[in-house]
Amino acid sequence: MEVIIQSTPEAAAELLARLVAHDLRVQPHLVLGLATGRTMESVYDRLARMHREQRLDFSLARTFNLDEYVGLPATDPHSYRHYMNEHLFEHVNVDLRNTHLPDGMAQDLDAECQAYEALMVKCGGIDLQLLGIGQTGHIGFNEPLSALRSRTRVKALSPITIAQNSPLFAEPAQMPRRAITMGVGTILEARRVILLATGASKADIVAKAVEGPITSMISATALQMHPRCTVIVDEAAAAKLQGVDYYRWIFTNEPEWEPYR
């Protein structure tokens, strides 16, 4: 794992957008794993702008989202399909047939989860997976006690996650209590993963995820086992990390990061 500290949330989002754009230019058929949440909105804004202003091309890319609420149709403004259309897909030239989210309305949810896994395999697996982090330390909707080898499945949402996300619903009580989510094991199979966390409210959980012991109670700690994981944080989200001097040295001195400094 490597930790990259940027001065502001904007700078952190900009760095992630530039990394995605770079991979997309090098590999136009990129299979991109996408995340939702407030943190990602400014990354998608930037990717949309790069498409408009620099002709960043999404026409051959395929995307898989981490999760979707159970019981919300794609037309529901609170569904993650709606979020993705609104924040990214409508603003770039991705072929909507190549954008995938689990179907939270499927009659047979277990079959839907298996089909989602099979489709990822058919597309050759995820090249680059973007991640946010919830207050419980979840990645996707892998709530506490998610097995470190879990696959795409239905997961009950924890009270902390319901408190975090229900204000986004017009009627907070109508937030679904379950979601389909890629498993921790599914996420660990992506060739590269990048987690973005910004703001003081994420400082505690970022420190636990990065420097704490690996535990199924905090699914983001499993990323410590990933061979190519980058965590991008702003100063506020980095505030509780112990090793900041070392992390800063890496970003300032490692040749790999030179184009992004």
Interface residues toward ligand GLP, by CB under 6 A: 35-39, 66-67, 132-134, 140-141, 161, 165
Nearer of residues 27 and 216 to ligand GLP, judged by Cβ: 216
- Nearest distance in Å: CB 36, ligand GLP: 5
Find all residues with CB under 8 Å of 202, minimum gap 6, and list them.
Answer: 133, 233, 236, 237
| Collapsed DSSP state (helix, strand, coil) of residue 212 | coil
* AA letter at 36: T
Q: State the DSSP code for 9.
A: H
Nearer of residues 27 and 215 to ligand GLP, judged by Cβ: 215
- Nearest distance in Å: CB 69, ligand GLP: 9
- Burial grade of 55 (CB within 10 A; 0-12, 13-18, 19 or more): exposed
3-state secondary structure 40-93: HHHHHHHHHHHHHHHCCCCCCCEEEECEEECCCCCCCCCCHHHHHHHHCHHHCC
Beta bridge partners of 179: 69, 155
- Nearest distance in Å: CB 252, ligand GLP: 27
Nearer of residues 31 and 40 to ligand GLP, judged by Cβ: 40
Nearer of residues 94 and 182 to ligand GLP, judged by Cβ: 182
- Nearest distance in Å: CB 219, ligand GLP: 10
Residue 40 CA: distances (Å) to CA of 109, 110, 128, 187, 194: 27, 28, 15, 17, 12
Nearer of residues 1 and 250 to ligand GLP, judged by Cβ: 1
Beta strands at 229-234 and 192-197: parallel, antiparallel or unpaired: parallel
- Nearest distance in Å: CB 138, ligand GLP: 6
- Nearest distance in Å: CB 137, ligand GLP: 10
Tokens coding 146: 């998610």
Nearer of residues 132 and 183 to ligand GLP, judged by Cβ: 132
